[in-house]
Amino acid sequence: MVSCYVYGVVPGEQTSTEVEDLPAVANAQEKISLIRHRKLAAVVSDMSTERPLGTPEDLRAHARVLDTLAATDTPVLPLRFGTVVKDAQSAGRMLADGYDHFMAALERLQGYAQFTLNAQYIQDAVLREVLDERPEINQLREEIKSLPEEASYYQRIQLGQLVTEAVSSKRDMASAEIQQYLAPLAASTATSPPTADEAAVDLSFLVKHTQRAAFEQAAEDLARRWHGRIRLRLLGPLAPYDFVADAMADTGEVP
């Protein structure tokens, strides 16, 4: 059965030329096209429902289409990965049902793109800082060294736990500092939930096009200041994955 994969919603005057030849979700050969309804368009591609979605290439294709649109200064409302409707009519109906909300959210996001900053502590640097700042951890470490390995099992767990917590707490401080430094250059910020990596954090910013250069420069300043301690990677411009829900919520009920 052929269904319709929906990437996102864009203004209807949008042409599909930037994205039509990008690899589509589920089948890279499919064309990406637009289903229009009044002043809106849904970005879609045909797909067969024979296999479930979720391959690395599916995920990449979804993001690539949306980010390419975002990079052309098109406001785009990203739908959640895996949104599939029965056919093109259903996609059109989706636009009709949520018309006012989509329009308002697009207007709100017009002129903005998301940037996501990944900050990652550098191994030795963060461990040294922890040992320097927390004498009791260093002391425990010295004690363990004087014990045979079998005898220090619980102390080693305790040491590891203390270090883990200390690293997490430093991560949180760096995160707060980044926010404080960059938030003035962004319309909105979002912190991703902490991941398994206690030394890394992702922060997302909704940045106005006119502020983009200043924002990038400020992030670069941070990277220079923290060089050797914290590694910064900036992704973007991206579709507003972290901000679209708010942009819709502000319009009242989500369709």
Tell me the per-residue interface mask from 35 to 74 with another protein, x by CB under 8 A, - otherwise: --------------x-xxxxxx--xx-xxx----------
What is the rounded CA–CA span in Å between residue 240 and residue 246?
10
One residue of 22, 131, 177, 208 binding another protein per CB under 8 A: 131
Rounded to whole angstroms, how far apart are CA atoms 215 and 208? 9
CB of 38 to another protein, least distance (A): 17
For the chain, the straight-line distance linking the first and the last C-alpha, in angstroms and rounded, comes to 27
Does residue number 22 form part of the binding site for another protein (CB under 8 A)?
no
Nearer to another protein, 73 or 183 (CB): 183
Nearest to 226 by CA among 150, 125, 156, 85: 125
Confirm if 114 and 70 have CB atoms less than 8 A apart.
Answer: yes
Of 135, 150, 193, 210, the one binding another protein (CB under 8 A) is: 193
Residue 12, judged by CB atoms within 10 A of its CB (0-12, 13-18, 19+), counts as middle
- Which residue, 69 or 77, has its beta carbon nearer to another protein? 77
15 or 254: whose CB is closer to another protein?
Answer: 254
For residues 17 and 39, give the distance between their C-alpha atoms in angstroms, rounded to a whole number.
Answer: 18
Q: Contacting another protein (CB under 8 A), which of 35, 130, 178, 207? A: 130
Choose the binding region for another protein from 12-20, 29-37, 246-254 (rule: CB under 8 A): 246-254
Distance CA 240, CA 66 (A): 9
Q: Is 251 in the site for another protein (CB under 8 A)?
A: no
Cα separation of 9 and 70, whole Å? 12
In the complex, what is the shortest distance from the CB of residue 78 to another protein, in angstroms, rounded to a whole number?
Answer: 4
Give yes or no for residue 83 binding another protein (CB under 8 A): yes
Residues 89-128 that bind another protein (CB under 8 A): 89-90, 93-94, 97-98, 116, 118, 120-124, 126-128
In this structure, the strands spanning 112-121 and 200-208 are: antiparallel
85 binds another protein (CB under 8 A): yes
Lookup: tokens for 20: 């039509």
Q: Which of 15, 197, 209, 252 binds another protein (CB under 8 A)?
A: 197
The phi, psi pair for 230, rounded to 5°, reads -130, 130
Residues in contact with another protein, shown as a per-residue x/- string from 145 to 174 under the rule CB under 8 A:
x----------xxxxxx-xx--xx------
Site for another protein in 213-232 (CB under 8 A): 213, 216-217, 219-220, 222-224, 227, 231-232
Looking at this protein, which amino acid is placed at residue 218? A
* Tokens matching residue 120: 């990652």
